[in-house]
Amino acid sequence: MDCPKCQSPMEAVVYESFEVNRCTKCKGLWFDLREQEHLKALEGSERIDVGTSGEGAAYNEIGGIECPICRTLMIRMVDAQQPHIWYESCPTCYGVFFDAGEFRDYRERTILDLFKDLTAKERK
Q: Are 92 and 66 in contact (CB under 8 A)?
A: no
Separation of alpha carbons 21 and 27, rounded Å:
9
Residue 33 or 114: the one with the smaller Cβ distance to Zn ion is: 33
Q: How far is the CB of 50 from Zn ion (least distance, A)?
A: 13
Residue 5 or 104: the one with the smaller Cβ distance to Zn ion is: 5
Q: Are 55 and 100 in contact (CB under 8 A)?
A: yes
Q: How far is the CB of 124 from Zn ion (least distance, A)?
A: 45
Separation of alpha carbons 42 and 18, rounded Å:
10
Residue 42 or 62: the one with the smaller Cβ distance to Zn ion is: 62
Alpha helices in the chain (DSSP H): 35-40, 53-60, 102-123
Q: How far is the CB of 122 from Zn ion (least distance, A)?
A: 44
Q: Are 20 and 35 in contact (CB under 8 A)?
A: yes
Q: How far is the CB of 72 from Zn ion (least distance, A)?
A: 5
Residue 3 or 85: the one with the smaller Cβ distance to Zn ion is: 3
| DSSP bridge pairs for 30 | 21, 97
Residues at the site binding Zn ion, with contacts judged by CB under 5 A: 3, 5-6, 8, 23, 25-26, 28, 67, 69-70, 72, 90, 92-93
